[in-house]
Structure 1
């Protein structure tokens, strides 16, 4: 009896520790990184409803979360020095886990992620494996001084994996779905340097070279503001492709416009770091709203 109680108490402590680490690991990324594949999966669901909705929904949710878990574990294992300055609330700076522990969790999560992907569909499994290989290569072999080059490529790979994989879990891929996924992925990556404006001090400590360091934070912020002025029209032209909008399409596009212009205006306040941080948060919401456009398109 005593041994059983001891075992259960130990298991409870392990679970509590892992939940605390996962919470700190994904605190600021889980909603923006997990929602886009769920939205594409929802669009796929509307186009071709699955035969087993319950298991399919559970698969999409777990697979989407594992993506976030792996990405954050790999990224934070390689960026502890930066996080000590920019994000001290993360698990490594708090002393909850070290780089080896994060890499171990990344490896375990990767096995589960790829396995679930292949169990769902060949497309999802294949693209999951390619993305995991990309993450491993980037963090093991790419120098910090080339951060400005490999970060966009890594993020592009991740965005494509999320969107195509999320769709393919629910139903078969088609040309339209792939076009949507590529369009949305390229859009999110092009404007992503706004994220690095807030992280310059930590990136310097980590030996990274980012676009704000190379061209100036103000230039990056102003370029971002221009992109935000254009992005709603790009989404309209490349995804909705019509001036005769349904109510759902109109409302979703209105949200994209509101968030985009709010993000752009916030970024124009180049002397305020809180405004730059707000611009990135709003931009994360812009990406989520843009990813909702395909769903709005297929809803009749």
Structure 2
């Protein structure tokens, strides 16, 4: 994909030098004895591709379970609803995978370019704090991903949702004041979930009444408890002056709010969404149970397991609930 003449090649040569220098300092060879340097970045195309795969995995590791897998599942469910043949269904699912990888890549490059100081404390394995690449390298990748994402939106006829998400990602991460984060982030996440689910549906067919019901109910239900995400990042947010609900109110009100939402989630989805499908009562109750088990587990964990590592696991469980809800579309649409 990338050659020695690509924009990333020169950038990563600098990135690699910065990485080697930081590694040398960390290794500390002792007085008068230089520390060994890692091997230079590979010059071959295969080596460049492997390097980009490594960078991409670290960029997207935290959010892929929420931003890629669930909407791809939703596209597949909508395709089955529309009776697509196996080949057409596979084509739509592949298009969804590409679209939502770019969806996440654009957001995470913008987010990590702006949040290196926070990541150094909360997520030191990410590309910038780990020394793998520099902030400028991340911004270069963002500048390449944006037109690719736009092209994907044009080819899949989801360009409106793509442009909305690009605006949200750049506005939240690169333009907004950290002190306004407590107001800006919830709006951004609602718009992002809306854009994601609407695009996932419209990859297959235009949104109809049933489609809008799924998009709006799931968007609301999954964003109301979203503030729990900031509980796990309190130390880093405090470090960069970001205002979040856990820092303003304390972690207990946010935990209680999250637990109440998790307790009510199965009933909310049953009344507003699941019971409006075409499936029988047994299938609907089965979907209720599939949501209830992880939701109630996450709610209990948020109150009983309050150390930072446990909060990260609880949040991952919450993102898994999003995937479970959209997986229910296979049975209910």
Using structure 1 for the length normalisation, give the TM-score: 0.90
What's the CA shift for 1:246?
4.8
- Distance (Å, rounded) in 1 between the aligned partners of 2:232 and 2:72: 28
Work out which structure has the larger RCO, using CA pairs closer than 8 Å and 6 or more positions apart in sequence: 1
Which residues of 2 match residues 192-211 of structure 1 at below 5 A?
192-211=226-245
Partner in structure 2 of residue 100 of structure 1: 136
User: Quick check: 1:172 aligned with 2:213?
Assistant: no
Label 1:41 to 1:246 Cα distance change in 2 as closer, same or farther (>3 A).
farther
The residue aligned with 1:289 is: 324
State the SS of the aligned residue for 1:241.
helix
1:12: which partner in 2?
A: 46
Residue in 1 aligned with 2:313?
278
C-alpha distance in structure 2 between counterparts of 1:271 and 1:32, whole Å = 22
Q: Is the 8 A contact 1:66 1:113 kept in 2?
A: yes
Residue 264 of structure 1: CA displacement?
Answer: 0.4
Aligned length in residues: 289
Distance 2:171 2:251 in 1: 28
CA RMSD of aligned residues (A): 1.9
TM superposition shift of 1:120: 1.3
Indicate the residue corresponding to 1:90 in structure 2.
Answer: 126
Stretches of structure 2 lacking an aligned partner (at least 5 in a row): 1-41
1:254 counterpart (266, 275, 289): 289
Would you tell me which structure has more helix in proportion to its own residues? 1
Larger Rg, first or second structure (1 or 2): 2
Equivalent-residue separation in structure 1 for 2:71 and 2:315 (angstroms): 20
Once the two structures are superposed, the pairs formed by residues 78-157 of structure 1 within 5 Å of their partners are 78-121=114-157, 124-157=158-191
In structure 2, the residue corresponding to 1:173 is in which secondary structure?
coil
- After TM superposition, the score normalised by the length of structure 2 is 0.82
Offset of residue 203 of structure 1: 0.4
| Displacement after TM superposition at 1:253 (Å) | 2.2
Shift of 1:247: 4.6
C-alpha distance after superposition, 1:16-52 (max 9, x if no partner): 1111100111112112211221122122202213473
Per-residue CA deviation, residues 58-89 of structure 1 (Å, 9 max, x unaligned), is: 21111111111111111111110000000001
